Structure 1
Amino acid sequence: MAQQRGVNGETQSLDRFGVATIVSLSVVWGFNPIILKAALAELGPFALSGARCAIGCLCIVIYATVTKRAIFHIDGTEAIGALLGLLYFAQFAALFEAVRWTTLSHSIVFLYVGPLLVALGTTFLLKNERLRPLQWIGLGLAFFGVASEFIGRWGVAHPAGDAMALLAALLWTTSTLLIKGTKLARIEPTKTLLYQIGVASIICPVAMWALGERAPQNLSLSAYAALIWQGAVIVGVTYALWIWLLGRYPAAQLSAFGFVTPLVGVAAAAVVLGETPSDGLAMAAALVMAGLILVGWPPRRAASPAAPRDPG
């Protein structure tokens, strides 16, 4: 597979700017379920997904037109782009079904197997981005931190729902590696995003009709505000930044910071919704933080050869 390039043609090591950006995205995504919950009170899941993707498409088209980005010409990436859009739709469809058939704790734990799968995929497909043993330890530690927060609410196993959450993780992994390791690596990031959300915005209304989902009617002002947030900010801005980051930094390291998102979600629910977090939230956060430090730990530099002594 083609290796995605960053500055000067090489994928960069994760630096302070990259860490600050991906942490910021993870925090925004952690708060997002609260807004999603408000929107889902008035819209079905496919109506919401289709609407936010359509709004995101409009934002991308306006941005590309104003900034004269080359995203509308034929360049041979159309088939891969369509596949990316199908994967994106399938990922969220699987996640919706997982939440319907199993508990939220099960869904989160199985979904966040995704960063582990991304790291495994880069081992075979993006050899320049293989994690070192210390980074694998950090990745496992961060996953354990997330799992420890939700394992206390594990409840009864629901194999079908658990399998759908794991499928969503696999689709997330496939999408990430597809963006990172194909011709999509060499095109404008906003065009990649347009492929992803454009296909989904077309399929979602079909899914609504096929599954008998109720069409949204008489939406409240808060529902419209949630839709605009979802489409313009979450899809139009944060997803574009995620694809941009994938063009510059190692996929496995970036994906590891996704472990921040569910813990932020728990904290946000406690602050905004008054939900009671578990007693182990601080420990889980500490484990995730320690794991991410190890994931981002720089490689040991080779010792410089000693300068030859002056024979005189």
Structure 2
Amino acid sequence: MAPKDLLLALVVIVVWGLNFVVIKVGLDGMPPMLLGALRFILAAFPAILFVRRPQIPLRWLLAYGLTISLGQFAFLFSAMAVGMPAGLASLVLQSQAFFTLFFAALFLGERLRMANLLGLVVAAAGLALIGLQGERTLTIAGFALTIAAAAMWALGNVITRTLGKVDLMGLVVWGSLIPPLPFLALSWLIEGPQAIESALRGFNLEALLVLAYLAFGATLLGYGLWSRLLSRYPASQVAPFSLLVPVVGLTSSALLLDEHLNGAQLFGALLVLAGLLVNVGGAWLDRRSRARAA
């Protein structure tokens, strides 16, 4: 990878890793469903005026927007609102890699390989160890909701695979049109009009900066640079960089939010990262061996 593109990859990882700290700050002054609605309103407008709509059927655009955008962030924001630490959220959310394998096998007929299963077992042990810590530094509800967010992300990944070669940036921008209305409806029903009014009345510069970061940084800049890298290099060369997201997430949350893992959680985090590494590395080795055989 060229040095310039390597730098871009690291920019994406830092932006996505810090994203969890920013979410935590945003949730201090805004309820989760309203935060989700405003994030995707800003991500969609005015970007749809400059980014071409992907050439896919409307039903697939809806499916993408309802899973990877609405579903993932409704669960993630709710998880962090009820006590999931930012750093652990960045780590546990990476279980989407294994949900993606499962859903791809279930819906697309893709075959699970030994490295996938081994990585899954190791990462599952780490997640179980983190979850068993219970109320010490996280809530069971927060942990379960983060797992649900990972599953929704994985469903979105499977939808993207089904679409085949598609403009990722266009998919992200136009997919951002789907979540705002459902998010607003959920905010009205769950959080109530008084919470919405109170959050909007208290809207300040900090809230604006949070939304700008989530919409323009984590969504448009992050996915824009990521899609550029995927267009230049094989996915097997780009995907491993995502393993660094929870490293940045855990480090930034410790430095900026004073979140710290206990010994058992640290060991669990290392197991999750090891499982992800086995999964990615095993898939890479498998592709290399098949290429040589061909």
* TM-score using structure 2 length: 0.72
Residue in 2 aligned with 1:187? 166
Q: Using the alignment, how far apart are the partners of 2:207 and 2:235 within structure 1?
A: 37
Residue in 1 aligned with 2:204? 220
The equivalent position to 2:114 in structure 1, one of 110, 130, 133, is 133
Deviation for aligned residue 1:230 = 1.1
**Contact 1:125 1:181 (C-alpha < 8 Å) held by counterparts:** no
The equivalent position to 1:113 in structure 2, one of 95, 104, 121, is 95
In structure 2, stretches of 5+ residues that fail to align are none
Deviation for aligned residue 1:228 = 1.0
**Contact 2:15 2:217 (C-alpha < 8 Å) held by counterparts:** no
**Contact 1:59 1:232 (C-alpha < 8 Å) held by counterparts:** no
Q: Using the alignment, how far apart are the partners of 1:145 and 1:208 within structure 2?
A: 33
Q: Secondary structure at the match of 1:155?
A: helix
* TM-score using structure 1 length: 0.69
What CA deviation, in whole Å up to 9, does each residue of 1:196-248 have, x standing for no partner? 21111232223222331423124222221121111111111223455667787
Residue in 2 aligned with 1:235? 219
Residue in 1 aligned with 2:35? 48
Letter in 2 for 1:84: Y
What CA deviation, in whole Å up to 9, does each residue of 1:272-308 have, x standing for no partner? 2333343467756655555454322423637989xxx
Q: Using the alignment, how far apart are the partners of 1:20 and 1:281 within structure 2?
A: 31
Q: Using the alignment, how far apart are the partners of 1:190 and 1:303 within structure 2?
A: 29
Q: Using the alignment, how far apart are the partners of 1:208 and 1:126 within structure 2?
A: 34
2:289 corresponds to 1:301:
yes
Aligned residue runs from structure 1 range 1-312, under 5 A: 25-58=12-45, 60-64=47-51, 70-71=52-53, 75=55, 77-87=57-67, 88-99=69-80, 104=85, 111-126=93-108, 130=111, 132-142=113-123, 144-145=125-126, 148=129, 150-151=130-131, 153-155=133-135, 163-182=144-163, 185-211=164-190, 212=192, 213-215=195-197, 216-241=200-225, 254=239, 260-279=244-263, 287=271, 290-294=274-278, 295-296=280-281, 297-299=284-286, 301=289
Q: Secondary structure at the match of 1:198?
A: coil
- Would you say how many aligned residue pairs link Structure 1 and Structure 2? 278
**Contact 1:117 1:173 (C-alpha < 8 Å) held by counterparts:** yes
In structure 1, stretches of 5+ residues that fail to align are 1-14, 65-69, 306-312
Q: Using the alignment, how far apart are the partners of 1:280 and 1:219 within structure 2?
A: 39
Q: Using the alignment, how far apart are the partners of 1:265 and 1:136 within structure 2?
A: 26
Q: Using the alignment, how far apart are the partners of 2:203 and 2:20 within structure 1?
A: 19
**Contact 2:53 2:174 (C-alpha < 8 Å) held by counterparts:** no
Q: Using the alignment, how far apart are the partners of 2:79 and 2:259 within structure 1?
A: 22
**Contact 1:260 1:288 (C-alpha < 8 Å) held by counterparts:** no
**Contact 1:30 1:263 (C-alpha < 8 Å) held by counterparts:** yes
Letter in 2 for 1:50: A
Between 231-240 and 96-105, report the one with greater CA deviation. Answer: 96-105
Deviation for aligned residue 1:119 = 1.4
Q: Which structure's residues are more often helix, by fraction?
A: 2
Between 103-112 and 221-230, report the one with greater CA deviation. Answer: 103-112
Deviation for aligned residue 1:153 = 3.3
**Contact 1:143 1:259 (C-alpha < 8 Å) held by counterparts:** no
Q: Secondary structure at the match of 1:42?
A: coil
